[in-house]
Amino acid sequence: METCVKRVHEDWTTLPQLAGLQFNKLQPLLSYGKNTADGKFIGVRYFDVCDATKRAFMQLVPSKYRPWVTITYMEITSPYVPPHTDNCSRFSWNFYINTCDATTSFWAVSDAATTPVAFGKDGQLFQDEVKLKRIGQFKAMAHESWILNVNTIHSVNSALPGTRTAFVISSHHTFQDFSTLL
């Protein structure tokens, strides 16, 4: 499981670089999901954040990687995000705010015939968990920060209703690149 996820901070809100963090989300950058008939969005959205928020989080990133990271605010409004990979990044450092008691599971293909049900610029989607083998899982708590290998098939299942939120530092650099530095 070490190649999929690693906890970095027990309480990121105590870090001096993030003291007094002012936050206001800006326009959505990426959205995966759909709008309901009443106009409510169900899925995952990544929002841009103001420059002050970006500068605060950027202080946590080793200087040689700063040109290649993106800092966003994530909202998951769906109780279940099916197994998928992310093509927008290979590495994600999540600073959780509200977790909805969710479990993130990591998967491997257990049947050589298993193929994604969708390919796209945003990743691959695997809907049939029966043909996948769980290789690890974790449950983040509010204010913890975790690094994730989002190039590995993963899913999210929330035990409580609500919106799961986190600040996210992401990059095309590998999980291994960052996990050895943090």
153 with 125: CB under 8 angstroms? Answer: no
Give the start-to-end residue ranges of the domains of the chain.
Answer: 5-179
pLDDT at 155: 92
pLDDT digits 0-9 by tens, 77-94 = 999 988 888 777 788 999
What percent of the chain clears pLDDT 90, i.e. is strictly above it? 41
What average pLDDT does the segment 152-174 reach? 90
Please report the pLDDT score of residue 88 as a whole number.
Answer: 72
- pLDDT at position 114 is 57
Domain 5-179 homologous superfamily, CATH: Jelly Rolls (2.60.120.10)
- Mean pLDDT is highest, among 1-10, 22-31, 114-123, 155-164, for 155-164
Which of the four pLDDT bands, split at 50, 70 and 90, describes residue 72? Answer: very high
* pLDDT category of residue 95 using cuts at 50, 70 and 90: very high
* pTM beyond 0.85: yes
Work out the mean pLDDT of the chain and round it to a whole number: 84
| pLDDT, tens digit (0-9, with 9 covering 90-100), for 4-39 | 888 999 999 888 988 777 777 788 888 888 888 998
Using CA atoms in the order 165, 42, 122, 24, what is the torsion angle rounded to 10 degrees?
-40
Nearest to 106, CA basis, from 146, 163, 162: 146
**% of the chain with per-residue pLDDT over 70:** 84
Question: What is the number of other CB atoms lying within 10 angstroms of the CB of residue 136?
Answer: 16
Residue 101 has pLDDT above 80, yes or no: yes
Strand order in the sheet with 132-138: 118-120, 123-125, 80-84, 153-158, 102-109, 132-138
